[in-house]
A = this chain, B = another copy of it.
């Protein structure tokens, strides 16, 4: 019986990514984590801090994918509007979450727990919390939407706490063959290996070598370790047959 494929989308919320001020690093971390639990990341989007855009995009994506992971916009300042907008998307109020309130009270002195900070204890009605072992202020989950911080250290901690709870298929494994021939020389043979293994996804990624010139990483991905091994051997043999010197990794 074929596995059900569990799909996901990452929604990066933040003007700072779209202005180029901040280099996103959360996507790659979530992507690797999802592959490890057999969830297929189908798409990622970066959108600005605009409430209608956030709400509409959340609604589009949660209908389309099994999981939506958002990053960014859950702090105390005026530009931290994600919880409000997710509430709007679900048509519910953004309300004080008693457990989040207790967590904030345990780390913030009563005289410092001002209105702005109290906003961080608000979640859409019906949300469950995502723990934050780094700075305590929690994220939350609303049905299949996981709302996480943008700061990478915090986001990672939140995602790590959520990851074991995700339903996925078999983990996606990968093998890599490093190749010293140019892409144009191996393209035909590589296409033939791909055609012979439709269950695998084979990618060819040229990169510059520090000392000058290109090398090519041929990356095979799939859920069947045996198939992956056979295909990687076929790729290596193909490269060797063309006079190259492949390295399996």
Contact = CB atoms under 8 A, between A and B. Distances in A.
A31 interface: yes
A42 B32 contact: no
A188 B114 contact: yes
A27 B24 contact: yes
A204 interface: yes
Contacts of A241: none
Given A114-B188, A188-B116, A202 B79 contact: yes
A149 to B, nearest CB: 9
Contact of A194 (B46, B78, B112): B78
A18 B43 contact: yes
A201 interface: yes
Interface in A28-51: 28-35, 41-49
A213 to B, nearest CB: 11
Q: Name which of A41, A108, A184, A203 has the most chain B CB atoms within 10 A of its CB.
A: A184
A32 to B, nearest CB: 4
Size category, A interface:
35 or more
A116 B216 CA distance: 15
A20 B29 contact: yes
A35 B32 CA distance: 31
Contacts of A77: 183, 186-187, 190-191, 204
Contacts of A207: 151
A128 B247 CA distance: 39
Contacts of A114: 184-185, 187-188
Given A17-B44, A77-B190, A117-B187, 8 more contacts: A15-B221, A17-B31, A18-B44, A19-B221, A20-B35, A23-B28, A108-B184, A151-B208
